[in-house]
Structure 1
Amino acid sequence: MATESENQAEGLADLIRSARVVLWDFDGPICRLFAGHSAESVADGLVEWLASRGLRGLVTETERDSLDPHLVLRAVDRRHPGSDLVAELEERLTKEELRAAATAMPTAYADILIQTWRARGVRMAVTTNNSPRVVRAYLDDRGLTPCFAPHIYGRTKDLHRLKPDPHCLNRALNAMGAAPAAALMIGDSPTDFEAAESAGVPFLGYARNARKAKLLTEAGASCVVGSLRPLLEILRH
């Protein structure tokens, strides 16, 4: 009788082998975007910018305490959708993300895994809540853009369609002419899992620590890895 770990390994192998299209979240599976320029400081900066304009009340105490710049942006958009204020706040966030990209830390094994998968004929896309300008800047710097281009689907002006909405996943699938069941989403957050589930795409969770693994499993993810190395080994062997 197979052990639980053997069953998990076989489940992972099945996910990898059946994927004809891989949809990557950006911040987490591909790199740690805010490794040298913390997301918490970016969120604080957005709140301070709002406060300097007498608009601190647009975000609740809970939203401020989240230290999540995307949550701050979405909170303002819910209260003033499509406004110039939201557009300016989003541009400020994009500039901070571009600064962070210069010191982003590549996720271990991500570069070689992406290149190996692409060499096997698997098509790939980035589906992220980050700005597509930021993704392109990072991929250009790592020489990885040809593995994805033109399939980079990031934050748009329709902020209500950020993940967990499956909008960016559906854009990728439609552009690539891929069936959801033939794809695989790699993400590191519950919102990634929820978006994949809504789009009907199999999901593989990447968790760099126990806290992230717990969040993914509690959200319902059944396959979570702490390293991308097992994926590379499956592709190689």
Structure 2
Amino acid sequence: MTGVKELLQEKDHVFLDFDGPVCDVFARLPASEVADRLKRLIEPEVIASADPFDVLRYAASCGPNAAHVVERQLNRFEGEAVALISPAPGIAEVLREWRAQGFTVTIVSNNSVDAIRSFLGLHELAVHIRGISARTTSDPALLKPGPALLDAAVKALATSPGQCVMVGDSAADILAARSAGVASIALAKTPSKRKALAALDPDALVTDLADLRLAP
């Protein structure tokens, strides 16, 4: 794997996942609770997953109306969730430094645009962010690990995938980056996550947000 500082210095644009690197979206309103609430809108006995996005994917398999209802409620729950939390320790410093170094930063996330915009504004982080490429529809095929959100971010910047790097803490981030032809930096804060993400062969791997800073 490439050194993270060397990799960043080769790029102009950083794509940053939201849930994990920027904040822990469901820290105060647990994802399992959100999933249970969403299941009540469809057939709760059919899906065992505690992941709200798995519920959305199942709803989409039931048809566009079910997907729309579930996505609309997920959007509302995400808004409630982000109102209860704070930014990840150190993220403001990283964003400030990236901006000073001349990078553009785009949030690329499966979470809703509305929730992300609300959180960034509430915590005065929006000034560091060039754009947001995130969920705006009920179609889960447009979410990571597919490349659509990254492709849209590349297009919005009128750049090429080779000038961009995706920073994320999930397998979906690494796989989406690979599909879009974008370099990837895995953020893995626990031993189990380090093992899982290293197995996907990202271009670089860090264990702390501070490792993403270019300054010594």
Which TM-score band applies after superposition, normalised by the shorter structure? Answer: over 0.9
TM-score w.r.t. the length of structure 1 is 0.85
Paired residues of 1:131 and 1:155 also in contact (CA < 8 A): yes
The Cα RMSD (Å) is 1.6
Q: Hey, what does 2:134 align to over in structure 1?
A: 154
Q: Output the TM-score relative to the length of structure 2.
A: 0.93
Query: Which residue in the other structure is 2:94 paired with?
Result: 113
Aligned to 1:67: 50
Please tell me whether the aligned partners of residues 187 and 205 of structure 2 are also in contact (alpha carbons under 8 angstroms): yes
Hey, what's the Cα distance between the residues in 2 that align with 1:107 and 1:215? 22
Are 2:99 and 2:128, in contact at CA under 8 Å, matched by a contact in 1? yes
Question: What is residue 212 of structure 2 aligned with on the other side?
Answer: 231
Would you say the 8 A contact 1:124–1:148 is kept in 2? Answer: yes
1:188 matches 2:176: no
Q: Distance in 1 between matches of 2:186 and 2:27?
A: 20
Unaligned runs of 5+ in 1: 1-7
The 8 Å contact of residues 183 and 203 in structure 2, kept in 1 or not, is answered as no
CA contact (8 A) 1:184 1:203 kept: yes
**Partner amino acid, structure 2, of 1:79:** C
Residue 156 of structure 2 is aligned to residue 175 of structure 1: yes
**Cross-structure match for 1:125:** 106
> What amino acid is the match of 1:185?
M
Paired residue secondary structure (1:184): strand
Letter aligned with residue 78 of structure 1: S
Measure, in 1, the Cα distance between the counterparts of 2:193 and 2:75.
Answer: 25
Query: Paired residue for 2:188?
Result: 207
Q: Which structure 1 residue ranges, 4+ long, deviate > 3 Å from structure 2?
A: none
1:118, CA displacement in angstroms?
Answer: 0.9
Q: Which residue of structure 2 aligns with residue 42 of structure 1?
A: 34
Farther off after superposition, 35-44 or 205-214: 205-214
The residue number in structure 1 matching 2:70 is: 89
Corresponding position of 1:22: 14
Larger radius of gyration: 1
| Separation in 1, partners of 2:86, 2:123 | 11
For residue 130 of structure 1, give the secondary structure of its aligned residue in structure 2. strand
Residue 41 of structure 1 aligns with an amino acid whose one-letter code is E
1:23–1:125 Cα contact (<8 Å) kept? yes
How far apart are 1:215 and its partner, in Å? Answer: 2.1
One-letter code aligned to 1:35: A
Checking the alignment, whether the CA contact within 8 Å between 1:33 and 1:105 is kept in structure 2 is no
What's the CA shift for 1:211?
2.2
| 1:37 Cα deviation after fit | 1.1
CA distance in 2, matches of 1:95, 1:72: 15
Shift of 1:103: 1.9
Corresponding residue of 1:78 = 61
Equivalent in the alignment of 1:4: none
Contact 1:184–1:201 at 8 Å: present in 2 too? Answer: yes
Q: Is 1:99 aligned with 2:99? A: no
Question: Following TM superposition, by how much is the alpha carbon of 1:153 offset from its aligned partner in structure 2, in angstroms?
Answer: 1.1
Secondary structure at 2:144's aligned position in 1? coil
**Paired amino acid for 1:32:** D
What is the number of residues matched between the two proteins?
215
Question: Which letter maps to 2:210?
Answer: R
Query: Residues of 1 paired with 2:89 and 2:147: CA distance?
Result: 27
Q: 2:133 is aligned with what amino acid? A: Y
Counterparts of 1:117 and 1:146, CA distance in 2: 12
Provide the rounded CA distance (Å) in 1 between the counterparts of 2:141 and 2:93. 34
